[in-house]
Amino acid sequence: MLRGIQVLDLSRVLAGPWATQMLADLGATVMKVERAGSGDDTRQWGPPYTAQGLASYFTCANRGKHSVSVDFKNPEQLQAVHELALKADVIVENFKVDQLKAFGLDAAALRAKKPELIYCSITGYGQNGPRANEAGYDFALQGLTGLMSITGPAEGPPFKVGVAVIDIVTGIYACNAITACLFHKAQTGEGATIDCALFDTGIALLANQGAAHLVAGAEPKAMGNTHPSIVPYQAYHAKDGYLVLAVGNDRQFASLAKALNEDSWATDPRFATNPQRVENRELLNGLLEPLLMKANRSHWLERFEAVGVPCTPVQSVSEVFTEPQLHERQLLVSHADSPLKPVEDLRPRDTTSLLQTVGQPMVINGLRPSHPLPPPDLGPTITRLKP
């Protein structure tokens, strides 16, 4: 859907590359400009590594891109980047605020030459404010924005989320803003300057927890696997492992009670409605957990599924990648060895030995927009474009 759109990717690590990978998957041509000699920092963030020597971290956010190397201190190479910039429809960068001014690659300088350019800057704290000049790191932002204060066991130390969630969601927001600006440009011919900040995203990710503070002055706290406003809605230990119960309404709770042969719970004034269950959380869990410990997960999963109670096993990452639903949804993308081989080259080969990445979590008109080109090797030194 974005075929013909030229993207110059001056970003590295995760938030920016996540956004530009989405654009590549949607059909844009993405040129990744990397530091000469070493490239994107995440090329070295291993082990593990692919058979071609790419760090697995790099492979998660750089599918479908082309790469060139550049030394900004080399005048000829810098001029070549300027030429690419003025041919691009979209530029994405995640340098510190004003750092690209020294090279004439900032939004103001480039949009003065090409007003229709869409220029997206991704920083830790945004283009203004007392922290604007600070470097931004996902882990640090998870702490600063309060996300760590509501993650982890109750009364325990703060925990970060198991992936760099602020980086990833910032990338999604950036891609969303870019596609909106492309739509606006198609209508008006006008470009845009986009300011995305990890800090802003971290605050937005507080979601209902942030709303609880704004509405009622509440101070949300870490509650482990429990939910502040819904019960039972957490992980429970069965005989052979953990399962998640996500009982979202009173009807589902009545079904749960029936599946447990505890029909009276559905009319018990302590449990009949969700507010009552929240008030009597510990009491209900004290009754529920011993029952679940009497049988294996498979037993409970079968019984709960039969009555429409949302329940899943807590799976390891290895188990997830053998999940039948994942393969039915065709979420994995198999790539050819060379970044320049077309997807047709995959057909006669054993794809089990090829690099795989996780495709875009969307299906449009029956197709999952995930680029067949694998993450690129570090590209050659950039040269001036031919007239």
Q: Which residues are catalytic?
A: 167
Beta carbons of 94 and 121 less than 8 angstroms apart: yes
All residues at 6 or more sequence positions from 155 whose CB lies less than 8 Å from its CB, including other chains: none
Query: Quick one: tokens of 245?
Result: 């119960």
The 3-class SS string of the chain reads CCCCCEEEEECCCCHHHHHHHHHHHCCCEEEEEEECCCCCHHHHCCCCECCCCCEHHHHCCCCCEEEEEECCCCHHHHHHHHHHHHHCCEEEECCCCCHHHHHCCCHHHHHHHCCCCEEEEEECCCCCCCCCCCCCCHHHHHHHCCCHHHCCCCCCCCCCCCCCHHHHHHHHHHHHHHHHHHHHHHHHCCCEEEEEEHHHHHHHCCHHHHHHHHHHCCCCCCCCCCCCCCCCEEEEEECCEEEEEECCCHHHHHHHHHHCCCHHHHCCCCCCCHHHHHHCHHHHHHHHHHHHCCCCHHHHHHHHHHCCCCEEECCCHHHHCCCHHHHHCCCEEECCCCCCCCHHHHCCCCHHHCCEEECCCCCECCECCCCCCCCCCCCCECCCCCC
Beta carbons of 91 and 6 less than 8 angstroms apart: no
The 3-class SS string of 22-43 reads HHHHCCCEEEEEEECCCCCHHH
